[in-house]
Amino acid sequence: MSARDAVRLLAAAVLAALPCSAFAAAAIIGDAAAGATLAAACQACHGAQGEGLPTAGFPRLAGQSAVYLDKQLADYVSGSRANAVMAPLAKTLDAKKRADLAAHFASLSPPAAAGAAPADAQVLARGRLLARQGDEAKQLQACANCHGPDGRGESFAAPYLAGQSASYLTAAIGEWKSGARKNDGGRLMAEVAGRLDDADIAAVAAYFQSVGPLP
């Protein structure tokens, strides 16, 4: 267990004890070993170690927050995150299997997948500016406020972006913008995505890809 996971676990344990907690305690205590046997079905798209498949836009799952992964699977089922590929797959999983799978992927730490296309320096510079500082003219705050320094992820609710493929991030921001995805409670990402034009989406996606997976 990494130090980051330990913090997440602790935070989630506190939350789990809350009588009105909306977070599922099961996600944190999901059984990674049981998840590993289920994960065979995921490997074709998400890679043998959850490293993702940048050329096809399938995201990296390895080392992602278990609570976050579990919630995404539940949201594919509920439809608050619409996805033609993932929705039917998620519907085959009960709550325990979702948690086990989430715990499994959270435990992995392979190197970055090959095949991601690099971006040019100007694009990366714009992406870094948005990631770290934001853009006042667009009333757009830094990604780091929620997703952590250089997109390393914050606690359990805000996923890491560092090391995620640009192809996936571009698609994901597009889903927030189009409304295909509306599973973040305060409609924060819809607001942020709505203020990003195509060039900014490409820049920020390229930047987080270029950071690479963080420890």
Partner 1 sequence: MTQTMKAADVVIIGVGMVGSIIAKELAAAGYSVVGLERGEPRFTVPDFQGPGVHDELRFDIRKALMQDNTREAVTFRNVSSQTALPIRRWESFLPGTGLGGSQVHWNGQTYRFQEQDFVLASHVRERYGKDFLDPELRIQDWGVTYAELEPHYDRFEYLLGTGGKAGNLKGKIQPGGDPFESPRSREYPTRPMKEHYSGAMFRKAAGSLGYHPFPQPSSNLSEPYTNPEGLKLNTCVFCGFCERFACEHYAKAVPQTFILPVLLKNPNFELRTGCQVQRINLDSSKTKATGVTYIDTAGREFEQPASLVITSSFALNNVRMLLLSGVGKPYDPATGQGVVGRNYAYQTMSTVASFFDKDVIINPFMASGASGTLINDFAGENFDHSKLGFIGGSFIGAVNTNGRPINYHPVPPGTPAWGKGWKKAVADHYNHTVMFSVHGSSMAQQQNYLDLDPTYKDAWGQPLLRMTFEFPKNDLKMADYVTAKGVEIGKAMGAKQVVGAPAKGPYTVTKYQTTHNTGGTVMGADPSTSVVNKYLQAWDVPNVFVVGASNFPQNATWNPTDTVGALTYWAVDALKKYMKQPGKLVSA
Interacting residues of 30 by C-beta distance below 8 A, sequence separation 6+: 66, 70, 96, 98, 99, 100, 101, 102, 103, 104
CB of 89 to partner 1, least distance (A): 30
The DSSP H or E segment spanning 209 is helix 198-211
Rounded Cα distance, 38 and 193, in Å: 33
Report in angstroms how near the CB of residue 186 gets to partner 1 at its nearest. 3
Binding residues (CB under 8 A) for partner 1: these are 14-15, 17-20, 132-136, 139-142, 144-146, 149, 185-188, 190-191
Q: Is 140 helix (H, G, I), strand (E, B) or coil?
A: strand
Q: How far is the CB of 195 from partner 1 (least distance, A)?
A: 8
User: Distance between CA atoms of 39 and 208, rounded to whole angstroms?
Assistant: 26
Residue 148: count of CB within 10 angstroms of its CB: 19
Task: Please identify, using beta-carbon distances, which residue of 55 and 145 lies nearer to partner 1.
Answer: 145
Q: Are 177 and 193 in contact (CB under 8 A)?
A: yes
Please, which residue, 97 or 138, has the CB nearer to partner 1?
A: 138
CB 76 within 8 A of CB 4: no
CA dist 116 and 119 (Å) reads: 9
Phi then psi for 138, rounded to 5 degrees?
Answer: -100, 5
The least CB distance from residue 30 to partner 1, in Å, is 22
Of 32 and 192, CB closest to partner 1: 192
The encoded tokens of residue 162 equal 């560092």
Least distance in Å: CB of 212 to partner 1? 21
Distance CA 125, CA 142 (A): 14
**188 versus 199: smaller Cβ distance to partner 1:** 188
Q: Which is nearer to partner 1, 116 or 158 (CB)?
A: 158
In the bound complex, what is the minimum distance in angstroms from residue 191's beta carbon to partner 1? Answer: 5
Of 19 and 215, the one with the shorter C-beta distance to partner 1 is 19
